[in-house]
Chains A and B, each alone.
Chain A
Amino acid sequence: LAKTTQPISMDSYEGQEVNITCSHNNIATNDYITWYQQFPSQGPRFIIQGYKTKVTNEVASLFIPADRKSSTLSLPRVSLSDTAVYYCLVGDRLNFNKFYFGSGTKLNVKP
C-alpha cells in the first residue's frame, strides 16, 4: 500500500494558481493517483485522477512525472470557496477501488 506525504497546510490569495504536491515514493505499477476535496461538515468530493503525464478537467490539472513518485494538483485562479482540505490518494483502481486517505492539505485562500 503506497503511502502518501502532503504538506499539512498552505496559504494562498484569491486569483492565484495553487500547486499542492504529494509524494508517493513506493507507488506500484497498477496504482492510480486520485485527489479529493473536502469542505467542513461534508463528505469528500472527487476532483481528478491520473496514471501518468498530465490530466486536466474543468476543475483542476494533475501533473505526474515519469517516475510517478510524486504528483502535483494544480488549481487555477483559486477563490475563497476553494478553501478546503485536499487529499492525495494512491491505490489500485483495478483492485476493487482500494484507496486510502492520508491527513490531507488544508488550503486557506485569503481575500
Chain B
Amino acid sequence: EAGVAQSPRYKIIEKRQSVAFWCNPISGHATLYWYQQILGQGPKLLIQFQNNGVVDDSQLPKDRFSAERLKGVDSTLKIQPAKLEDSAVYLCASSLVALDSYEQYFGPGTRLTVT
C-alpha cells in the first residue's frame, strides 16, 4: 500500500513570497490533515478535512494560509505571504473513516525555510 505522498520535500523562499505544498493521501482515506511542526515542538494541527469539507481549521492563520481538497482526494496548502516564523516542517496525514478510526498515517513532510 502506498503511503502519504508530499511534495516538494524542501523549499526555500524569501519572506513575503508565496508557496504551495501538495499532498496525496492514502487511497480511500476520507480524512486529511495538515500539520505545522516547528523545530523542537510537536505537530500543530492546521486544518482537517473530511472528504471535501473542513472539519477543523481553528488553528489555521487564515489571513495568510489557505487549504483546499478538491474532489476529496489531493490537497494543497498555500502560504501567502510567507513570514519568517512560518519556517517549519509541514506534515500531511490521512486516516481511513473519521468515525471509529484512530490511526493517522503521516507523509514525510515538506521542510520550509523562509529567509
Give the segment of A10-18, A20-28, A37-45 that binds chain B: A37-45
Contact between B102 and A43 (Cβ–Cβ < 8 Å)? no
Tally chain A residues at the interface, Cβ within 8 Å.
22
Contact between A43 and B106 (Cβ–Cβ < 8 Å)? yes
Q: In the assembled complex, which residues on chain B have CB atoms less than 8 Å from the CB atom of A103?
A: 41-42
> At the interface, yes or no: B98 with Cβ under 8 Å from chain A?
yes
A8 vs chain B, min Cβ distance (A): 10
Kindly state the separation between the CA atoms of A104 and B95 in the bound complex, as whole angstroms. Answer: 21
Interface of A is mostly: loop
Q: In the assembled complex, which residues on chain B have CB atoms less than 8 Å from the CB atom of A41?
A: 108-109
A87 in contact with B42 given A43-B107, A96-B48 (CB within 8 Å): yes
What range describes how many residues of B lie at the interface? 20 to 34
**Nearest-CB residue, chain B, relative to A85:** B42
Contact between A43 and B50 (Cβ–Cβ < 8 Å)? no
> At the interface, yes or no: A98 with Cβ under 8 Å from chain B?
yes
Q: In the assembled complex, which residues on chain B have CB atoms less than 8 Å from the CB atom of A32?
A: 102
**Nearest-CB residue, chain A, relative to B106:** A43
Contact between A97 and B106 (Cβ–Cβ < 8 Å)? no
Contact between A43 and B99 (Cβ–Cβ < 8 Å)? no
Kindly state the separation between the CA atoms of A103 and B91 in the bound complex, as whole angstroms. Answer: 16
7 nearest A-B pairs in the assembled complex, by CB-CB distance: A43-B106, A101-B42, A46-B103, A101-B43, A96-B55, A96-B98, A49-B102
Give A residues with C-beta under 8 Å from B: 32, 34, 41-46, 49, 85, 87, 93-94, 96-104
22 CB < 8 A contacts A-B: A34-B102, A41-B108, A43-B4, A43-B93, A43-B108, A44-B91, A46-B103, A46-B104, A49-B102, A93-B100, A94-B99, A94-B100, A96-B98, A96-B99, A97-B95, A97-B98, A98-B48, A98-B55, A99-B104, A101-B42, A101-B43, A102-B42
